[in-house]
Each structure stands twice: as structure tokens, then as C-alpha cells.
Structure 1
Amino acid sequence: MSPRHRRCVVLRGSADATRAAALARVAALEDARVLWVGEPATRFVSVREHGVRALVGRAFDVVVLDLHAGLDADVLGLACGMIWGGGTLVLRLPPEGEIPSARDEELIVAPHTATDVAHRFWARFERVLATTTARDDEATIGVAPHEVSGDAEQRRVIDVLGAAFAGGAPALAVLLADRGRGKSSALGLAIRDAIARSPAQRVAVSAASRDATAEIFRFALGAPDAVREGAVRFVTPRALAHDGEPFDVIVVDEAAQLPVPLLQRITRAHPHARIAFSSTCRGYEGTGRGFVLRFLEWARSEPRPMVELDLVRPIRWGEDDPLERFVEHALALDAEPAAIDEIDEHALEHAVVDRARLARDEVLLGELFGLLVHAHYRTTPGDLHRMLDAPNLAVHALLHRGHVVAASVIAHEGALAPELCDRLARGRGRIRGHALPDTLISHAGFAEAGALRMVRSVRIAVHPSLRRRGLARRLVEHVHATYSPDLFGTMFGATPELLRFRRELGYELVRVGASRGSRTGEPAAVMVRPASDRGAALVASMRIELARNLPRQLALLDADGEVGLEPELERALRADLPTPPPLDEDARRAIVARYVAGPQPFDAVALAVTSYVEDHADAIRALDARMRALVESRVRSAHGWERVAADAGYPTVAAAMRALRPAIRALFDHVERS
């Protein structure tokens, strides 16, 4: 094992015993060199599992991870990326053969109970752990060397980017790398080289958050934090897209975390600039392949010349690192689709995949999960856990001579008790694992929807070499033929192509989300396919309400977005909607009363609430100043939330959003008392 390779130390026993053993093994290390994940806290840097993400960007000699309650797959992936070369991951585990069950509650979906939750994910993790070459339980845990070793590959990327930045011609560059490959440092060094060649250049560095750019500034300027002024400075993505300030060079790090339409707007807003976009293409926070699949394809069609770069070798730890191999295999981050370019359509077969077999068959798992990783930017290691163990999920596949060419994960939802549906409709709780009935009750306002039996498409993916061959259609039709619910449904970031695909399979749009996806920039679409008379009646009612509210809702979405909705998408969302009958006064009052007392978002009832407010505009004077400003700005003027917050004097958009319902409630109560 190389001195820059990282290792894994496993400590087994009771929680108290492994805590004591871990403390003894790291006792000689300074506080800041150890990240302790679990309770209770220690003298080291100590966080609970949910606090690990906030430390991304920091690195430690040792990470101690408590798995006595079970394994959070996403946290393990995060932890692996935070350990220096030569460092150690310490896993605190229960005795061999004992299966932790404290996390089972996260997978329980009514009417299932804890006894229905499987432990295939844990069993597979134990098998991988038992055979990994990263494991050395007797290793001395000491200080890691903290060496960063650039090589010819990184130097080549720096040279190419530096030359592009210093050149006068407009250009695009895309840099893709896995975690730990020195992507941010390469961007910073390229900026430094470009400034050395052309000191007068104006350089903007951007990302989803200013903190995320600290590494770039450290290598570009030697500054420990992002700089807000000067020739090289941090600029928000929104400012780059809208403010019109010219820059010679623009660098956008972790571009996959930004909406694709926003990236396109930035590109078009700076036609003469040299622009570099970078993304982690495989990692714990989601794969980044949505960026690869969508933005990169668009960028290739742009008139500016584009160079595509990647970094394969790690710089913070040694190449062929055993700990990285172990974690990637345990979490199936190394999963890849089958090596297939062509198929004989007569050799295709459908299968409902046995999940016990899936957990044991590494080839089958790799091919199937590899498709999901490639097709969906949101796929994370935690999805592997749910896919294998959640009692309400099932996995379907289209196989070609035993190899997976298309895959779908579905969820059985609905059939909820009337009392629960009523509580959800009144905002008295939420329900885990029933995403489709929850949104139809809580957001669309149809309490009766919860009683219906539903099959929801959670994920669907087709082999990248075999797309547009009808395989997705065949797989969905297989799902339709397998079950007999009241409704088939799906929820996704709306695009004209996906809306068209689902419509051709009998699905109808029944809801558009109140906000846009943080990475896609697209509003969420809810589409359903009725499969019973009860389902058909419900869909007809939901379509009328959608048709009534959608024009106002789209105007609000447009006002809220960093970029406007594409006209083609607006047309696709409006397509084939029925003409709603006029809303009478009693029905309007009932909708407003439901809104002020329940969980529905304003967008879902915008027409009724706006009409009610306009008819009782005199009552606005009875509100306090902030409430008046809130109602005037959002309801009557349909301004975007950022302006609404400013108009009404709220410190954040979230605060203004929370205040709208109480403001409408106050107005409603005043009118009702009058």
C-alpha cells in the first residue's frame, strides 16, 4: 500500500465499546485532524450525520463514523471524500452478524411495518467490507502527510484553460472530474496563469454559493476566501445572467448544481467571453450527469468553439486508492451500464426483478443501477438503499439476452384511510413514502385522492446507446400490464419531450409545481393515467382546477425564475387542457377558506384567491403595513418573490412566503366578520 493510500479500520462491539476503542486509537491526534460523526460529541470536530454535508471542502486525517444505528449511504460517500491521502476511515460497527435496525423507520411506508423492511443493502455492505483491500483493522492511526500531487494530466488542463482564458477569442470549456481530482485547484491555477499573461483581464468566478469557490481563489490569488471586488472576484450566477456587466473570463464551478436554463442564459449574456464550466461527474451529492446529458449537449451546438476536458487521476490521495475503490463499490458509484451498442428486438424480455437476487448479483446490480446513475442527475447512494430495501418499491427491467437495457423503479402508494387523508388536507401532518397522494391532497387540494390505489414511476432509464428506440415505452407498458391500481402516476421536472412521452402513454397533466427544480430550472409536473372509474372521475376534476389556475401560475413561475420559461414548455404545459366552467362565489369562498386553513400553496389557488382579494380590495386597508404590501405585491401584482420580500420588508424570500397565508387569512377573517 502506498503512503498516500487511505485505509479503513473496523471496530466492532457495543456502541460504548467501539466509542472507547476509537477514542483510544486517535488519542494522539490534534482536535482539528479528526472528524467524529455520531453522538455524543468529543473533543474532536464532532457532528451528527446531517451535519457532515456542511463540512464538504474540509479534509481530515481521520473520519470516525458510527454505524450502530445503520448506514447512511450518502454520509459514507461524503466521508470518503474528506480524508487526506494516507488517512484513515474508522467504522464503528455492531458485532458481526448483528443487523442494525434503528434506520428502518426511514423506509417504512404505510401500511407496511418495520418487519417488512429488508436488510439487503446492509448484507451487501458487509460482504464488500469483508473483502476490501482497504481494510487494516490493526493499523496504527497517525497523522496524514497532507500532500497534494499535481501531475502531467492536471498540468495539461491548466495549460489548455490558461491559454483559452488569456486568448482574445470567445470560447467555451467544460471540465469534468470525479471527487478529489483537483478540479477547483486546476481552475484557480489556470486563472493565475491567465492573469500573469494578461493582467488587465476582468475575471468572474461563480458557483451556487460563494463558499464553494474558496478553493479556486486560494490557488488563483492565494486568498483564503472568495473575493468580492477586484479584477478577479466572485459574482453570483443570477448577476452574471442579468446584470449586463462585461467580463473577459467567467468560471462557473460545480455547474451541475445550477439550473440548465440559467447556465444557458449566462452563456448567451456573454457572447464575447471565455467561459469555463466545471462539474463533478460522479459523487455523493448526485452524479452531475444531468449537466452532462443536457447542458453539454446544448453547448456543443453553440457557435463558439468548445473544448472538453477531464481529470481522472486523484491529487489528494494516491492513484488506485483502496478506500475509494471500497466506498465506490459499496455504494455502487462504480456502476456502469452493460457494454451494448445494438440489440435484436425479438430477444427483449420484461422482468420484475427479484431484489434479493439484485443485491447478490453484482453484474445485474451494476448494469441496472448504472443506468439510473447515467440517466438521472438526482441519483445518490441513498437511492440504492431504498431500491433494495423499501417495502413499497419494485424494480422492472427490460433485458436483452440477460443484460439490462432499460430499468424502472416504481412505488406502490395510496389506499390511505379517510381520517389520514383529512388530516393531510388540513395540514395536520405529512406522510412518508406516498409522494403522489401527498401532493394531490396537500398541494392540489383533493383529499379524496388519498383513498385511491396508485403506482408511481420513481425512476426510468434507458441504456445511453439505445435511446429513442421505443424501449422506455415498452417498459412503461409492461408496468401498466403488471398492476391494477386506480391511477398510474409520475412526477418529474417538466420538459416538452417528457410531457409528450407521457401523454402518448395515456397520462394527463394534473398539477404543476409552485417552484422550479434547483438544478433543472424546470417546474415539477405531476401526470397521471386513470385505470379505474374512480381514477377517471378524479382526474377530470383535477384537470378542471389545473386549467383554471395554470395561466396565473405560469405567470408567477415566470416572475420567480432566474430565467423565463421557454415558450415551447409553456405551450406543452397548456396543451389539451379543458375549458373550465366559471367559478361561482360559493365555490370561490370554499377554496379560499381551504387555503387559509390548510397546506395548499398559493399557486394552486391563485385564481380564486386573487379574484377574492380583488372583490374585497377595501378590506386590504384593515391589514397592517407589511401584510398590505405582501398582498399587493404577490397577489394583486404577481411580482416575483424576491421583489415581494423587498416590497414588504422581509429579510428573506422564505420569510415572505411563510407570511402570505397569514396575511390572506387576516383579510378573509375581516371580510367574514363584516
Structure 2
Amino acid sequence: MQQNMQQNHPTLSVIADLMACSAALLPSRHRLPLICYESEPVCSLAKSASWRLITQLQQAFSNAQQKDSPSQVMETALILSDGSLDESNTDMSAEINAEKSSYRLLKTAQYRQLLGQEWPLIVIDALYGVRANALAAAVGAVKAGGFLVIVAPPESDWPGAACDESTRLFGKATSERSLFIERIQQTLHNYGLRYNTDTEQLRYREQDFDDNANDDNPNIAAVIERIVSEACPTGQSHIDTSALDTSSPDEKPSRQDLSDNPFAEQRAAIEQICRVFTGHPRRPLVLTADRGRGKSSALGMAAARVVNQTGKRLLVTAPTKAAIAELMRWYQQNTDNNLADSLQFCLPEDLLSHGNQLAQSFDGLLVDEAAGIPASLLTLMVKTFNRVVLSTTVQGYEGTGRGFEIRFKQTLNQLRPQWRQAYLHQPIRWGSGDPLEAWSNHALLLEHSVEQSERLPIDLLSTESLPAELLQTERQDPLPDPKLNLSTLVKQSQCQLVKPYETMDENTIKAAFGLLVDSHYQTTPDDFRQFLDHPNRYLFIQKIKNSVVGVALILQEGEIPSELIKLIQQGKRRLRGHLVAQSLAFHMNQPQLAEQKAWRIQRIAIQHNYRRCGLGKSLLHSVEQTAEQMQVHYLSSSFAASEDLVPFWFEAAFKPVRLGLTRDPASGCHSLMVVKPLMNESNHEPVGVISDNAPWKGLYQQFYQTTRLLAASSFCDVSPVLMAQLLSRGVCPQVSSSECPQGSELKNSLKSELTDNTKALLQCFIAGERSFEDSALAIESLLINRLKQSNSNILLSSMAQLIAKLWQGQSTQQWCHWFDASGKKNMAQRLRQATKQLLDDQ
């Protein structure tokens, strides 16, 4: 009888095996990925052969939950799908409506809603593509003992199958096999279970479940033990207790504590959070953790303890109110009802408009999912509140991702040098060595970074001609002496070009992408897919003795048909992957430049220990040489403008053409677009002096005029030093060598533009005989004159002070903040000194 039932319903044995797997996973709080391959192409998930398996598995989970909680009706399955939610497709809707209490549908683009949620079963519809960001988010929302099920086209067809995601990411469909999908397939087979709908057989690697079983006792536990041991050979994830920044050694859990009690690390973090609100002020704490480490619950319990013991009132903010659901649940569980209002929520934008008022009403601020909040707002929070705890996940798919790690921590160093950091490494929502987490970390490189791997050992280099200073410091920090001879280091580097669809070995993939993650403020799993699959992507990988020290990621742009360019100029079309080319046509009215072949340097990174050695310049030179060989008309880049980054591009002869009107949410900076023409328009020969190449010369002048015109409005919050750097490059493009006076002749010709009356007015201002306002016209003449010259850092500082007051229109308070002045009198004195320095410059 039982055998006949299994023949009529062959999936039932698979469901029994899966539920046995779930039971075997629960004691160690592990989870599994499950890939379901269709036997033939299907149009929707509801019509797939996998759908029967999903419905029966969901029902099995629902029955199990009803046994535990018979009075509660709980949703047990979440489906991430785009195609199945199409209004024209009613099959899925009918299925879901029949089981409203157990299923929930979510569009793939809404994956951020998974934050703070837990599901026994999450299904990803990958029949027409899979979004890497959604995949990473779904991993963090699977309950212990649960499954992440991926429904895919036939196994051999999937890497080359039609994919809507390619159109979304790259702006066009591609017929090439996806290296990203092949990676997903390979890693899924190594870390999870596989189900083929044609055979209705469950497998792990090349082994059927039947091979581990007899009729009476399927040896599921042995299969799970093998999966876990091969997913994490050491039996547990790496735990670094030194990262717990506690004042007392007694508060720092030992490795044994963490092994015996996964909550020991969390308890230490709670102590640190409480100390922020009870100890010395202006010592913010940054709590960093991967998903599932108990970060939000630690915030909730710590807030409850502070409120219970001190009676203080705390404020909590996050990108959305839903993001703090877990935090508030733990807070309410650990406080009395009469203290419920002592922790209140506000949106980040409320702090922008009412920050000072809120700081007076509350004793401290908790920031959850800080990586999802713009860096400029985080800066305001730290300035406004004396007691702040910032908690975040920085695996790369939440909000601004690494922007929090890379840029905001630099801001903390300046504003609050006594800030502290704590990490939560030990999982709480699932166990150490979890196969699902191990799979996602490997498949999407969520865990890898250059900072976590060994830095390039000094013995890889030929040390015979390297300076003694380099050997003594072992390149731990950037070299303090700019005159140190590092030409040997550059000569030993070699550059490898990886064209679209060319494969790379695993070590190169990890090192190159890890370097991009560590060096840039906004990197997501979607970026990893572009890194592998983009049809217009070129990678330049710089190595020394086979170790990656630099990488440049190039996207080919332009060559846009004229009919599309017209629509772009009219604001009716926007093509993905043509950032600079479209901007030149739309913002700067240069449609002919969008027709040309261009390379945009999307990202460039040098390993931290080897920066300022000339390797970046050498890497850019390799890019330029190859671009010229491939008849590329111009290079470009767009990046978050900062005082330390802009000089790198300017020294490589790139020129600014556009400064973004608003701050980028991820970096907290205005984006700067720079270009470097390579080919003359008339004869397609390499250009000699780039400023002679029309229409670029007009664009440089337009940049200067626009930036100066908007200095007091759109760019009033830009660093004055950065403004000086930008305006000194845009005001006077280089003239051709035949017209260019050399050396002191150039300076004298420029200085002669100042009239005697102007000089006399400037001298009166310097002597304190005239006010700044009465001397404004003369000071502006001097400023414009000096911006035309090649400026040292000292002159840039002087020009910045004048630009801030004259063109950016900063108040006395703002000016004193930027230049660390004591007040109005000190500001006036500093402005006279800056004017004298510029006037006396020879």
C-alpha cells in the first residue's frame, strides 16, 4: 500500500526526506539551499513541475508549525518572483489566493523588505533570471531548519537561458553563457541539495539520498553531517575575539565562551552599548555584524537596560520603521509598559529638520541599519547628539553598503576621535558553519575582502634595489616620504587584460573583486554579477609575482545611434550603462560625443599597503595605451569628489566637465565627471594637447562658469578646498605648446592682468584699511588670476578661504567651522593673510 502511494505521488518521499533534513538541521540551527531544475522550459512558476514540490513542502512546514502552535495561523512560505506577479499571469495568483494564510508573494525589487523577517521556506523564481541582491537578502531571512529553494530552467540550459536580469543590469540581452549563473550552479551543487523534476530524485553532489538509506531508516543525519562538514571543514566559522573592543579584559568573551555559548559575544556588545549612554559623552560606538548575529536584539535589550536603570529617554532611527521591528520587540519584552514611550522612533529626515530640538528632548540616539542612511545624515546625527550608537550590516546589499565602512568611519575619526567599534561574528539566528550562509558567502563573495586576506608579502618582491625604508616598514602604511624611489616596484608590476566573457581563476576573482569592495563605497552582489558577465566590461588586473595589487574596471560606452541620442536630449530615453556619454549629450548638449566610442573607468583600486607608489598611475597608463590601440576616442570617469581623490585624476591629465548638483546618498559627496580625449575628431589620430581638441575646450570653460555660478547655491556645502581644486582646473584650459609662454613668463603674463588700481585696493584690504565687502571686486580679480596658475597646496588653501567667503557666501559661523577659526575677528585676519599670500606669489 505504501509503495503504491509513493508511485502515485512520487514527490511524497522527497518531502519526507526534506522534512527529515529540516529536523536534522534544527539542533545545530543550520539551513540549506535547494536547487530545483525543470526538465523543460516553462513560462511561469505556477506551471512548473517544481510547483508541486513547493506546495507540498510548504504544507509540511505549515502542519509542523500547527502542531507547535495550534491556535496560530502562520505564513510559512515566501515567494520572490517577477514573472509570476505579472498581471497577465493569473495562474500564480489563483494558487496563492487558495492558500492566503501560508504564502506571501514579493516582487524581486522589494527584497529589502526581507530585513528582520524569518521564513521556514523562501522560494526564488529564477526561471527568467535571478537578482544577486535579492538572493543575498533572502539568505538572511531563512529560519533555522529551513530551505532557500531556487527554481531554475533545465540544468544545461540555465547559463545561456533568456534572462530579464541581463536587460536590467546591462541595458541589453546577451546570448553568451553567464559566468555568474555557472558559478551559482557549481557552488549550489557543492553546498546544497539538488532536485531534478524529471527523475524526482533528491541528491547531494553526485549521491542520491537512496544511496544513504534503507527501507526502514533513511540515514538523513549522515547526509546533513556531511553537508555541514564540507561546507565548513573546521566545524565553525572563524571567531576573532580581538575585534571586540572592550575596556576590560573580563568583558571580552574567550573563544571557549563563544564556542559554548553563542550569546557571550552579544552580551559583551550590550555592555558596550549601555556604556555609551552612561559613560563619557562624545564617544560613539559602531556595532558591525553580518546578518543573523543578533545585532538588532542587542540594541533592543541594551536600550531596555538603560531605560530601566537610569530612566533616560532614547531615540531610535533607521531607513524605515519596519527595519526596527526586531529591536522594538526585544525592547518591549524587557521593559515595563509604563516605559514604552522612553524609546521612540523617528525617520532620518526628521533629524535633518528637527535635530537640535530632538537632541534636547532625548538623552541619546540609536541608529539601526546605518549603512542604509546617507553619510551626510549620519554626520549630522553624530554632530547633533553627544551619545550615539550606530549599528549596521555591511555585506553590501543594504543601502549604501561599504560607504559606511570606507567613508563614514573617516568622518568619525575627524569628528569623534574617541569613537569605538565592536563586531558580532558569532551567528545567533543560525548556527556556526551554516551551509546556506557558507554557500552565499562563497557564491557571491560576501565575506571576502583584501583586508581579510594576507597582504602582499614583502618577499614576493625582488628586494635588491628596494629602499631600506620600504623593507623596514614592510609597507604597513603609506610612505611618508614622497621622494622615496619606488620605480622598481612599478617595474615589477604586470597588467593583465580580461575581455568580456573571458574566464578567470578563482584566486584572481577573489583578489580583484575583493579589492574593489574594500576600495569603493558602494558595492553590491549585483556588482559582482556585472564584474563577471557585463558584455561591455574590460578588466585590467595589475599583479606583482602573481599577487593582485591593482584593478581597473572599464565599461565601454557611446556609439549610440543618432535617433536614440535625439530622444536622450529630449529627456525621453535613458540608456543603462552609458553614464558619461548620455550626460555629455543631455546636460552639455554635445550629441556628437555620445556617438563616439568611449571607455568609462567605473572603478580603480590599488591595494591599501601599496598606494602612493605609482602603481595607480601605471595602471591608468596601461588602460590608456590599450584604449588607443582599440580606437577609443576618450576616457572618462565619475566618482565621489573629495580633496584626496581629485588630484589623482588631475595629475593623469583628466579634466572636469560636470559636478553633480546633489550629494550622492552612498558617499555623502557630489559626483564629479572627468574626461581625457584620446583621438582627434577630424583625423582620428592621437591628440597632442587635449585642450586644443574641440569641443572639449568649450566644455572645460562651461564647467568653470557653471561651478562658479552655483557656488553659493547647489555647491554651498562643498569643501572650499575641493572648490579651489576644481576651479583651478576649469578656468583656463592649457593652451598649445606653440602659444604657451614658459616658466616665469607665463606667471608674469597672468599677473600683469591685475591693474594698478586693483593692486592698490588689495593692499588697503591687507593693511586693514578696507573691509572684505568693499574689496570684494578686487579680491575676485586676484582670485580669478591666480586660479589660472599651477598652484601649490599652500595657494590652494588661501584660494579656498577666499572662495568660501566670496563665491560660496558662507556665514561667519560656517567659515569658522571649515577653517577652524575662533570667530569673526580671526576670520577677517585670516582672509587678509590669504589675500597677501596670493598677491605676493611669484
Matched residues in 1 for 2:334 and 2:705: separation? 54
1:303 and 1:449 mapped to 2: Cα distance?
Answer: 46
**2:226 is the counterpart of 1:114:** no
5+ long unaligned stretches in structure 1: 142-148, 581-637, 639-674
Tell which structure's C-alpha radius of gyration is larger: 2
State the secondary structure of the residue aligned to 2:50: helix
Distance 1:2 1:465, change over 3 A: farther
Q: Secondary structure at the match of 2:661?
A: strand
Corresponding residue of 2:348? 237
Tell me the residue number matched to 2:536. 392
User: RMSD of the TM alignment (CA)?
Assistant: 3.0
Change in Cα spacing, 1:109 to 1:154, as seen in structure 2 (3 Å) is: closer
Q: Secondary structure of 2:270's partner?
A: helix
Give the letter for the 2:675 counterpart: V
Deviation of 1:253 (Å): 1.8
**Aligned-partner Cα distance in 1 for 2:640–2:298:** 33
Which protein, 1 or 2, shows the higher relative CO under an 8 Å CA cutoff with sep ≥ 6?
1
* 1:601-620 superposed matches below 5 A: none
Q: Hey, what does 2:110 align to over in structure 1?
A: 51
The answer as to 2:728 corresponding to 1:575 is yes
2:140 is equivalent to residue 25 of structure 1: no
- State yes or no: 1:349 paired with 2:506: no
Aligned twin of 1:298: 411
1:426 matches 2:567 = no
Equivalent residue number for residue 737 of structure 2: none
**Deviations 1:147-195 (CA, angstroms, capped at 9, x unpaired):** xx96100011001211332235442211111112111111121111111
Q: Is the 8 A contact 1:256 1:290 kept in 2?
A: yes
Q: Which residue of 1 aligns with 2:780?
A: none
Q: Given that residues 634 and 678 in structure 2 are in contact (C-alpha distance below 8 angstroms), is that contact kept between their aligned partners in structure 1?
A: yes
The equivalent of 1:251 in structure 2 is: 366
User: Is contact 1:286–1:379 with CA below 8 Å preserved after alignment?
Assistant: no
Question: Structure 2, unaligned stretches of length 5 or more?
Answer: 1-23, 43-47, 63-73, 85-91, 196-201, 204-208, 210-217, 221-260, 462-488, 682-689, 734-807, 809-842
CA distance in 2, matches of 1:283, 1:447: 36
State how far apart, in whole Å, the 2-side matches of 1:75 and 1:24 are: 24
Q: Structure 1 residue 411: deviation in Å?
A: 0.9
1:576-591 paired onto structure 2 within 5 Å: 576-578=729-731
Task: Give 1:399 deviation, angstroms.
Answer: 0.4
Q: Note the 1:225-624 alignment, pairs <5 A.
A: 230-240=341-351, 243-245=355-357, 246=360, 247-270=362-385, 273-285=386-398, 288-302=401-415, 305-337=418-450, 338-343=453-458, 344=461, 345=489, 346-353=491-498, 358-359=503-504, 361-484=505-628, 485-534=632-681, 536-558=693-715, 564-578=717-731
* Distance (whole Å) between structure 2 residues aligned to residue 52 and residue 241 of structure 1: 27
Shift of 1:456: 0.4
CA–CA distance in structure 2, aligned partners of residues 378 and 304 of structure 1: 24
State the alpha-carbon separation in 1 of the partners of residues 604 and 346 from structure 2: 37
Q: TM-score, normalised by structure 1?
A: 0.77
- The Cα of 1:303 is off from its aligned counterpart by 5.3
2:316 corresponds to which letter in structure 1? V
Distance in 1, Cα, partners of 2:334 & 2:272:
23
State percent identity of aligned pairs. 28
1:518-575 Cα distance to aligned partner (Å, 9 max, x none): 122211111101112338312212222222322343433257xxxx333223333333
Bigger mean CA deviation after superposition, 375-384 or 392-401? 375-384
Q: Is the 8 A contact 1:83 1:89 kept in 2?
A: yes
CA distance in structure 2 between the partners assigned to 1:469 and 1:401 by the alignment: 17
Alignment pair present for 1:202 and 2:313 = yes
**What is the alpha-carbon distance in structure 2 between the residues aligned to residue 437 and residue 356 of structure 1?**
24
Q: Pick closer, same or farther for the CA change 1:459–1:286 going to 2, 3 Å.
A: farther
Distance 2:193 2:513 in 1: 24
- Work out the CA distance in 2 between the residues paired with 1:335 and 1:55: 23
| CA–CA separation in structure 2 for the residues paired with 1:250 and 1:134 | 44
TM-score (norm 2): 0.63
Q: Which moved more, 1:186-195 or 1:205-214?
A: 205-214
Deviation, structure 1 residue 107: 6.8
Distance 1:101 1:55, change over 3 A: same
Answer whether contact 2:283 2:416 (CA < 8 A) is retained. no
Give the length in aligned residue pairs: 563
Letter in 2 for 1:124: R
Provide Cα deviations, 1:304-355, integer angstroms capped at 9, x if missing partner.
6322100001111111110011112111213332522455314311111366
Deviations 1:386-431 (A, max 9, x none): 1212211111111011111111110111122222222211223222
Instruction: Report the CA distance shift for 1:341/1:547 in structure 2 as closer, same or farther (over 3 A).
Output: same
The residue that corresponds to 2:6 in the other structure is none
Deviation of 1:480 after TM superposition, in Å, equals 0.7
Aligned ranges for residues 107-186 of structure 1 at < 5 Å? 114-115=174-175, 117-133=176-192, 137=202, 151-167=263-279, 169-186=281-298
Measure the CA separation in 1 of the matches of 2:148 and 2:170: 33
CA contact (8 A) 1:107 1:391 kept: no
Contact 1:410/1:455 (<8 A) preserved: yes
Aligned mates of 2:364, 2:570 — CA distance in 1? 52
Q: What CA distance in whole angstroms lies between the structure 1 residues aligned with 2:264 and 2:76?
A: 30
